[in-house]
Amino acid sequence: MSTVRIHHVTSYSYDRLVSLSPHRLMLRPRESRDVRVKTSSIETSPSTTLTWASDVFGNAVATASFFQLTNRLIVTSDCEVELNAAPWPIFTIAPSATSYPFLHSADEWQDLGTLTVPNYADPNRRLQRWASAFVAGPGTDTLSLLKDLSLGITGWIAYQSRDEEGTQVPPQTIDRGWGTCRDFAVLFVDAARSLGFGARLVSGYLYSPDTEQPGSISSGSTHAWAEVYVPGAGWITFDPTNRSVGGFNLIPVAVARDITQVVPVSGSFVGMPGSFNGMRVDVSVSSALADTSA
């Protein structure tokens, strides 16, 4: 078990006074048997009263409403989280699903719904052909197939950071041969869906105390990865950016069908054209024990 502290600051600046619309904040980590939130707080400047709700995926969503004109917005999230996931997890897959292809039960198939449908257009079945190349043949081991698919992304695609907002569509990532963690996650999810799996996007934080993992800055950063549903084992975590299975160094905040549904801070403003000056995001993910002993 490890205890991790997360400090996440999102800052917006404007050249003149603007009126802020309600902002949607997805910053509180998602709890499970492997993740326990010890403390969590969100502060904003200008100040606001937060209202909390759960979205359709069970994510914690805060809405911040503002009632004064301002030339800046600062959202600060501080959390302390206990991580209990095993670094080398063992997955107990149902006998009916150990070999690919397999059939989901009628209830599972219905409940997975749109999570089994690729989210992006696939002209000329470019993505499906690419994903199908990882299938060794009838009776392929299911977990091995998913691992090969994840490893195949880093074998085919080079990691490259990108400051611009937005995500590349999967065929674009394949053709370009480079992408960010969110591009890797989106590609993996749609590739898994094209093979008949239920898959979803996850956003959160990467804890990387050795600072050697792609996408990490200092000991951690915001991150995106994926989960695939396999009968018996449930939702299995795959991080194609770091070629890993399981979430021992991942802190999930939100899961969703589409990457646009897990943006940490989103909203708009009303003001004169050209009012927006810029945005800055600063994230620190560190060991709470290290902080305590300093």
Share of the chain above pLDDT 90, in %: 84
Contact status, residue 5 vs residue 285, Cβ threshold 8 Å: yes
Residue whose entry in the numeric block shows the structure tokens 């009916």: 96
How far is 151 from 155, CA to CA, in rounded Å? 6
Contact status, residue 249 vs residue 220, Cβ threshold 8 Å: no
Give 273's contacts (C-beta < 8 A, 6+ positions apart): none
pTM: 0.92
Residue 54 pLDDT exceeds 50: yes
| pLDDT, tens only, 224-235 | 999 999 999 999
Share of the chain above pLDDT 70, in %: 94
Choose among 193, 186, 168: nearest CA to 178.
168
Contact status, residue 287 vs residue 218, Cβ threshold 8 Å: no
pLDDT band at 213 (very low <50, low <70, confident <90, very high): low
How far is 77 from 8, CA to CA, in rounded Å? 5
Choose among 191, 264, 193: nearest CA to 224.
264
How far is 273 from 47, CA to CA, in rounded Å? 25
Position 268 scores a pLDDT of: 96
| pLDDT, tens only, 264-283 | 999 999 999 999 999 999 99
Q: What one-character-per-residue DSSP string does 200-226 give?
A: EEEEEEEE-TTS-STT--TTEEEEEEE
